[in-house]
Amino acid sequence: MLIKNKAWPQLKKNEPLIIAGPCSAETEEQVMQTAKALKSDNRVNIYRAGIWKPRTKPGSFEGVGSIGLAWLRRVKKEFGIPVAIEVANAKHVGEALKAGIDILWIGARTTANPFAVQEIADALKGVDIPVLVKNPVNPDVALWIGAIERLSKAGITRFGAVHRGVSQFEKSSFRNNPEWQMVVELREQLPDILLINDPSHISGNRELIHKVSQTAMDLNFDGLMIESHIEPDNAWSDAAQQVSPQQLTTILNRLIIRAETPEGIELKNIDELRKSINFIDEQIIDLLSYRSNVIKDIAKFKLNNGMTVFQKNRWSSLLAKHQKHAEKLSLDPKLISKVFHAIHQNSINTQNNLLNKSDKIT
């Protein structure tokens, strides 16, 4: 049902698609000055600006509204660059189409609401305009893909997925947790979709934008959406994460663009290493299967002796032991924690399933 669309847009080899512009369109002068400065760097392919801004709290600047659409028409006319905006409902879609906006994107908060996405999809029936879909605020790949499927059913054939990280509760150097694993899962199901990274929203801090952008390039993203403002420190929204056009040029100049499979290199050595990885992976799977069988025997013992599935002290002691062992081997304890949390959860599920089937197992 979903079509392959990596052919949109036509990407140049070793040149990522660059979408840039202010978080919010504030004044006509600000929009035009920013566009003029960005146009001087011919690597900027699409000009973006927020017209309607969904804000976390009421009272914050929520965008200039429809008046800003005329400013983007002027950008398109005077600088010959496609323009893109965020839409959150059918009214936004109607006004954007009437104004001749070239590309639409659906924001993270909207993606998380299937009713809102369906409203947008219904408003787009019969209009095959490119649509970018940001991942939802929570790490739910199915919800992300579901939004794209709704648009596909409405007749949209040109898609892009925008990765902007997810909300987090713990303090971090990032505004949003990157959750790069989401991208891996998305690509497993939609391998040919255009994939854009939004380092501005992941970073929340202009000093981190290059680092996140480079990570995205190393993960083979097709492009970047970077918020750029003619006077970023004076921006009316998200000032800390916006860069000036000059800073954007510096970021792009510093990017290292690597090829998935460079031409003219001998792959024999890496192929041998990959064979080793394949063998190790098979051993891991065999060991997990053996562990699963032992877990079933443990479940029988617990059931027959009236024991709970979850053993708090045993689990805490085991995890601490594994993390300590990992440190000795120069492995990241956080990685070991994630791996064994997943293994432990599977163990609990296995035991629960067996215990629920019978009052006593022989």
> Domain residues of the chain, as ranges?
17-254, 268-357
Contact indicator for 146, 112 with CB cutoff of 8 Å = no
pLDDT at residue 359, as a whole number: 57
Q: Is residue 63 classed as helix, strand or coil in its secondary structure?
A: coil
Distance separating alpha carbons of residues 105 and 255, to the nearest angstrom: 25
Looking from the CA of 270 toward its CB, the CA atoms found within 13 Å total 6
pLDDT at residue 6, as a whole number: 58
pLDDT at residue 266, as a whole number: 75
- Specify the residue for token string 């999809």: 121
Q: Is residue 243 classed as helix, strand or coil in its secondary structure?
A: strand
Q: CATH assignment of 268-357?
A: 1.20.59.10
pLDDT at residue 69, as a whole number: 98
Q: Could you tell me if residue 203 is left (phi over 0), alpha (psi between -120 and 50 degrees) or otherwise beta?
A: alpha
Homologous superfamily of the 17-254 domain (CATH): Aldolase class I (3.20.20.70)
Range in 51-55, 178-182, 194-198, 326-330 the model is least confident about: 51-55
pLDDT at residue 180, as a whole number: 95
Report the share of the chain in percent with pLDDT over 70: 96
User: pLDDT for 54-75, tens place per residue?
Assistant: 777 777 788 999 999 999 999 9
Q: What are phi and psi of 56, to 5 degrees?
A: -65, -40
Mean pLDDT over 139-160 rounds to 95
Check pLDDT > 80 for residue 225. Answer: yes
Check pLDDT > 50 for residue 1. Answer: no
Check pLDDT > 60 for residue 361. Answer: no
Place 129 in a pLDDT band, splitting at 50, 70 and 90: very high
Q: What are phi and psi of 135, to 5 degrees?
A: -65, 150
Contact indicator for 11, 222 with CB cutoff of 8 Å = yes
- pTM metric for this prediction: 0.84
Greater model confidence, 54 or 80: 80
Helices 28-39, 67-79: inter-axial angle, 10-degree rounding: 30
Give 136's DSSP letter.
Answer: P
pLDDT at residue 355, as a whole number: 82
- Specify the residue for token string 């109607």: 94
